[in-house]
Amino acid sequence: MSVRVTSWQPTQFLSVLDLTPGELESCLALAASLKSARRGHRPHPMPLAGRHVALLFDKPSLRTRSTFVIAVRELGGDVIEPPADVALGGRESIEDVARNLERWVFGVVVRTFAQERLERFAAAAPGLRVVNALTDQEHPCQALADCQTLIERLGSLRDRTIAFLGDGNNVAASLAQAVAMLGGTVAVASPR
């Protein structure tokens, strides 16, 4: 399987709903191709070569932080991690932080509380690539990773019903959106 970068190149990924079903399928196909190349130690595109990506994390995370740092570096980029006290509205407004980073970095991965904070950040810097690494309302990267795993195990999700057992939270919401866009259904069993 060869790695091919498609013409799909969104500038901001704040929600699964930012993608069309076709873009979602292209994204998952590209991810599968890159994963295959990585596993086989084959060369793959370095779309982030010479570029910087900032990680802004209000909420702590071992897995999300580690995997984004590794992914950016393996795609040729460099990571900067401004301290949390200045990253998202500590000393400066969210909008000011976004506008400054827009001058210096190619993209920003944000893990914060309210979706509204992320949307304010993205609106203030429309030329900046912004990725939602989690908000209280959505967790689109986790949903895409879950869909990729499901497709690896089950094939297409079209006409499948996926059961989600756990908190009816951001993960459940984003997974339901993604699976529905891929032609499946999600049944959620959750405590009140």
pLDDT of 9: 61
How does residue 41 score in pLDDT terms, banded at 50, 70 and 90? confident
Q: Greater confidence, 84 or 184? A: 184
In this prediction the pTM is 0.92
Lowest mean pLDDT among 2-16, 85-99, 124-138: 2-16
- Most distant pair of Cα atoms in the chain: their distance: 49
pLDDT of 139: 97
Q: Greater confidence, 161 or 6? A: 161
Instruction: Report the C-alpha dihedral over residues 106, 102, 174, 147, rounded to 10 degrees.
Output: 0
pLDDT of 10: 64
pLDDT at 3 over 50: no
The pLDDT > 70 percentage for the chain reads 95
Q: Which residue ranges form the domains of the chain, and what is each CATH number?
A: 45-134 (3.40.50.1370)
CB atoms inside a 10 Å sphere around CB 100: 14
